Structure 1
Amino acid sequence: MKINLTWLVVGLAVIFLLLLSSVFIVREGHTAIKTRVGEITANDIEPGLHFKIPGIESVIRFDARLQTLDAPSEAFFTAEKKELIVDYFIEWRIVDTQKYWVATRGAKPRAESIIEQIANNQLRGEFARRTVKEVVAGDREEIMQSITDTLSGEVGSQGMQVVDVRVKRVEFSDQIKGNIFDRMRAERERVSNSIRAEGREREVIIRAQTDREANIILANANRDAQIIRGQGDAEATKVYADSFSQDESFYRFQKSLEAYQAAFNNKSDTFVTSPDSEFFNFLKNKE
């Protein structure tokens, strides 16, 4: 009786193990395939509880969620033969597990290598047809959409779908940076030289206007001075004439004294004239 009970327990354990090994679960967001001696017997198995033949069928699970491939920086040349350093990433996912298994044997690095190689070739071709300005500012959305569509078409036969391709960063190479800085420096120098030339031109105009106005002011001042001087001379002449008419002999006497003072201003002055010269009329004794 005890032996029968033991075999019963063993039999139940074996049955339980067989049932346990024949059941497999696919988690949410994943998919799976069943293989039998290397051949796929079922693909695109959805999440949930499923059965297999123990010891004969194997289950290979895949992550069916959106995957992100963060590609390393690559150098691409534009239509002007300018080198750009580009960082980009690709969003992709598995859509056909059978084709994916055949193409990659389920290895994610191999799948990403395929996608990255095709993406690089596409980016190289798109950049080579465009200028730096078009790549950086103008046609980036168009480039990304074109590459996304092309990639989806090419990797679709391998059970994958490319959802999106996005450029994170476009950077000039060191050589282009140097050329850009040189052009920027030359442009700034051109602008500064133009501003200096305009300043010098304005300076010449202002100086000319100032000199003209100064000359006008000086001419007007000289004219006014001549007029005032003339008026003063006329008035002085009139005063002298009036004085002369009032006492002619005194006027002549005063003028002679002024002449004597001017002639004998210094002790070393020498004056040669005849004694009967009219210059000494007022120094002679007169009766």
Structure 2
Amino acid sequence: MKNTPSIIAAVLLMAILLMYWCTFQVRSTEVAIKKTFGNASEKPIRIDDEDSSFFAGLNLKWPWPIQSVVKYDTRLRLLEGRIEEAPTLDSKQIIVTTFATWRIVDPYKFHTRYNEVKSGEDALRTRIRSLKKAVIGNHNFSDFVSTKASDRKLQEIEKEMMDAIAADAQKDFGVEICMFGIKQLALPANVTQAVFTTMKKTQEVKADKYRSEGDAEGTRIKAAAQAASGRIMAMVERKAARIESEGLAQVGEIYKKFEGHEELRIFLDQLRSIELILQNRAEIFLDTQIQPFNLWNEDTRIEKSNAAAAN
């Protein structure tokens, strides 16, 4: 009876060790495969697998070295491509950096090909790089970079890459590509300069076109204005000639009325001449014997008065 506690402790220890050696737990974010004498089972073990014998993720196995368990995290992983140049269909270089989210869905296939996740990830990156370059090589440079939005086909190119990579990854790697896209699109220095030069020439052609259209429109407007001005001037000249002819006719009528009063006509003409000469407040020093300034001469005024009285 003295050894009872020791026996109980030994039994408990053996039970704990036996449970440790003969059981394993699979979390909801994991998938596992059993290996019997080094050979992996094709049937994966998941916590939502109804055919697996488990209790809250607890599964049974034979102790090592008979059986062992390999677990893989099934949560999404991010894989980013390296920055590198790739040729387009029209032999131009472009830098396309991609990203992908993936997860292991067939642990048996993944494990039989790659012992570690890191080696499988490197192989997947290499495969994505190869397929990416193949898709880029089927498209012209304008499908990636263009001044016209209608020429760019980035979404179609992303879909082509996604379809090719997803099918390849499922078949050869046992992984699912959940998302794929172009992270960065850039141009090499020499291509960038060539693109800028092309864009500059394109804009210069547009500018020349707009300038020529503006010059043509300006010429048209100027010609129309000159034509309108010519019509207006012709109309004004005709009206002025008509007014002048009417004025001359009226002057002729007036002169006819003064034919019998020659001295009065001369007197009025002299007054009109004086008015025109002095209309700007001019100061003039002349001899009063000179017409029409002889009107200020006293003898002339008397002579004019006598002549008027005689008439």
Corresponding letter in the other structure for 2:45: I
Q: Is the 8 A contact 2:258 2:265 kept in 1?
A: no
Relative distance call for 1:104 and 1:166 in structure 2 (3 A) is same
Relative distance call for 1:220 and 1:134 in structure 2 (3 A) is closer
Distance in 2 (alpha carbons) for counterparts of 1:224 and 1:161: 94
The answer to whether structure 1 residue 209 and structure 2 residue 224 are counterparts is yes
Structure 1's unaligned 5+ residue stretches are: 258-264, 267-287
Cα distance, 1:158 vs structure 2: 4.1
Q: Which residue of 2 aligns with 1:21?
A: 21
TM-score (norm 2): 0.68
Which residues of 2 match residues 115-126 of structure 1 at below 5 A?
Answer: 115-126=124-135
The answer to whether structure 1 residue 98 and structure 2 residue 102 are counterparts is no
Cα distance, 1:219 vs structure 2: 2.7
Q: Write out per-residue CA displacement over residues 14-72 of structure 1, whole angstroms, 9 at most, x where no aligned residue.
A: 23322333221111131223345544367523332122333423322111344332323
Corresponding letter in the other structure for 2:46: E
Cα distance, 1:115 vs structure 2: 0.9
Three-state SS of the structure 1 residue aligned to 2:28 is coil
Q: Write out per-residue CA displacement over residues 61-92 of structure 1, whole angstroms, 9 at most, x where no aligned residue.
A: 11134433232334322112232222322233
Cα distance, 1:145 vs structure 2: 4.1
Relative distance call for 1:164 and 1:242 in structure 2 (3 A) is closer
Corresponding letter in the other structure for 1:210: A
Q: Which residue of 1 aligns with 2:300?
A: none
Cα distance, 1:147 vs structure 2: 1.5
Q: Is the 8 A contact 2:94 2:186 kept in 1?
A: yes
Corresponding letter in the other structure for 2:19: L
Relative distance call for 1:132 and 1:115 in structure 2 (3 A) is same
Which residues of 2 match residues 1-287 of structure 1 at below 5 A?
Answer: 1-3=1-3, 5-35=5-35, 38-40=38-40, 44-47=44-47, 48-56=57-65, 57-105=67-115, 107-135=116-144, 136-137=152-153, 139-152=156-169, 156-244=171-259, 246=260, 250=263
Distance in 2 (alpha carbons) for counterparts of 1:45 and 1:109: 22
Q: How many equivalent pairs are there?
A: 256
Q: Which moved more, 1:1-10 or 1:81-90?
A: 1-10
Distance in 1 (alpha carbons) for counterparts of 2:4 and 2:233: 142
**Kindly, what percent of the aligned residue pairs are identical?**
23
Three-state SS of the structure 2 residue aligned to 1:28 is coil
Distance in 1 (alpha carbons) for counterparts of 2:109 and 2:239: 109
Three-state SS of the structure 1 residue aligned to 2:258 is helix
Cα distance, 1:247 vs structure 2: 5.1
Relative distance call for 1:36 and 1:202 in structure 2 (3 A) is closer
Corresponding letter in the other structure for 1:17: L
Q: Write out the 4+ residue segments of structure 1 that deviate beyond 6 Å after TM superposition.
A: 251-254
TM-score (norm 1): 0.72
Q: Is the 8 A contact 2:124 2:173 kept in 1?
A: no
Q: Which moved more, 1:138-147 or 1:186-195?
A: 138-147
Distance in 2 (alpha carbons) for counterparts of 1:233 and 1:158: 112
Structure 2's unaligned 5+ residue stretches are: 48-56, 145-151, 271-285, 288-311
